[in-house]
Amino acid sequence: MKTYEGKVDGTGLRVGVVVSRFNGAITQRLLAGAAEALRQHGVDEEHIEIVRVPGAFEIPQSAKLLAASGRFDAVVCLGALVRGETPHFEYIAMAVVNEIERLAVEYDLPMALGVLTTNTVDQGLARSGAGHGNKGHEAAVTAIEMANLRRALGAQD
């Protein structure tokens, strides 16, 4: 039986990162975690491109532009949505997550989901802290692994 699994080796990979500015105390920490993971796993600093957008709702549009460019092996999407008193949170969260998934399939390109959906700012800060609890770090590692799995399965660029 043949088994496929992506390696967590970013050597030679080009990765785009889209990060929202809204809830910046959280998203900046997600970005720091993602950048650290990419470097730790061998992605050359010159092969990491960061796109900053106003909020989570704008992440998919920029992710699509990165995917359409054909320059990247994976895209990491980072944002933070904190529940408020209105249904706005649910609408934005659902739209962003669904569109990122759709783009990954449409462009046959790994799009790692590092968009937090939390009930409080404190929960967001806890999930964007230092080390392996940082969801930006986890998303970047996932992007590397999936880019390598895509190659192992014979995907053509």
Positions marked active-site: 88
Q: Are 21 and 125 in contact (CB under 8 A)?
A: no
What is the rounded distance in angstroms from the CA atom of residue 33 to the CA atom of residue 17? 12
